[in-house]
Amino acid sequence: MKERLERMRNGKGFIAALDQSGGSTPKALKLYGINESEYSNDTEMFDLIHKMRTRIIKSPAFSDKEIVGAILFEQTMDRKIDDKYTADFLWEEKGVLPFLKVDKGLEELEDGVQIMKPMPGLDELLKRANERHIFGTKMRSVIKKASQTGIAKVVDQQFEVADKIIAAGLVPIIEPEVDIHNVDKAECETILKNEIKKHLDKLPETSNVMLKVTLPTVENFYKDLTEHPRVVRVVALSGGYPREKANEILAKNKGVIASFSRALTEGLSAQQSDDEFNKDLAKAIKEIYEASVK
């Protein structure tokens, strides 16, 4: 664990978010050039998305030279690439740290935010994650309004679950996403950062977390969090920005690296030849890497 923690804390590169789950898989497949008419049930759908993720992970463009971690969906963790479980393939063949998305989706909007749905099977999932050699986890909430009480509720819940993940020996990525379309986005980020700091300052020295945040309105807004002793890494989601715009904003935020999903796979297609696919993926990885290491 010590070697892997050091790799995440100081490794150059970014995190590839390959964790689209049941609700977002059809959209991810459509962007990849596979329409809903090409599969007839969830089994076929998940087979296709695993094939897409396998193609990305096995690409020569996907390596530890630019990528330090990859976030997986639960089904991806339980599947194999070349007879190895996906997490083992990532670490042993690619030198990339595997993370697992553990949340079960979002509750309805209330008080300007969407907290996470209950996770009754979390303990069992964390046990399986350890058996599959997962390094860390990720869980997402969403903030749509500068509500002090709503944002505090989001952060309280995130750190409450993070405590269980830390106790299981894993490193949690706390992801309170601020919707990029919020008219009061900057105010949301100010409240959010203050709430996060309150919790970070209470963590014992043995506890480590990561933070996944929306690319901020103010440059270097999260600089103090990147320097907090309890924070292994601060990563940024693309949040719906196209890759070029996301990279442009990211490059202005020192110490923050990418954890992009749509921006990483933008332009990739099932219809491409392997040469075309690998060339486009290499270009995307190079651009995101350069914005991350600036």
- Catalytic residue numbers read 175, 212
Q: Which of 71, 74, 175, 69 has the alpha carbon at shortest distance from 124?
A: 74
Read out DSSP for 82-136?
A: TTEEHHHIIIIIH--EEEEE----BPPPBTTEEPBPP-TTHHHHHHHHHHTT--E
CB neighbours of 76 closer than 8 A, spacing ≥ 6? 18, 19, 50, 53, 86
Name the maximum alpha-carbon separation found in the chain.
52
Q: Are 129 and 77 in contact (CB under 8 A)?
A: yes
Look up residue 163 and give its amino acid.
Answer: D
Read out DSSP for 162-213?
A: HHHHHHTT-EEEEEEEEPTT-TTHHHHHHHHHHHHHHHHHHS-TT--EEEEE
Q: Tokens 């999932």 map to which residue?
A: 125
Q: Which of 274, 267, 261 has the alpha carbon at shortest distance from 59?
A: 274
Q: Please state the separation of Cα 137 from the chain's center in Å.
A: 9
